[in-house]
Amino acid sequence: MAERNVEITNETGLHARPASKFVQKAGNFKSDVTIIYGEKEVNAKSIMGVLSLGVSQGNQIKIRCEGEDAETAVEELVDFLKEQMEEG
């Protein structure tokens, strides 16, 4: 298992287009990918789950991956979020 915290910096948060791209990216990994935000935990490969979190700019989320490619998945997803959020 691997996990890391990441701050959402994009002014629209993790909604619509950024969420969709993130779900697609998460789907590329064999590991189970979970986003933890506050008391909620959702499958990061589910667009409805990700959108249900309502993550906004400045919020911290935790990405947790469990499986054979967990370390790689966490690193790539955190990097993806940082790059995606910078693009807006």
Q: What is the pLDDT of residues 50-87, one digit of tens each?
A: 999 999 999 999 999 999 999 999 999 999 998 876 65
Give me the catalytic one of 3, 4, 15, 36: 15
Residue-level pLDDT at 67: 98
| H helix or E strand, kind and range, residue 50 | helix 47-53
Residue among 13, 44, 42, 10 nearest 27 (CA): 44
C-alpha separations of 56 from 8, 12, 46, 53 in Å: 7, 7, 18, 9
* 15 noted as active-site residue: yes
Three-class DSSP category at 31: coil
Q: Is this model's pTM higher than 0.85 or not? A: yes
Residue-level pLDDT at 82: 87
Contact 24, 76 (CB under 8 A): no
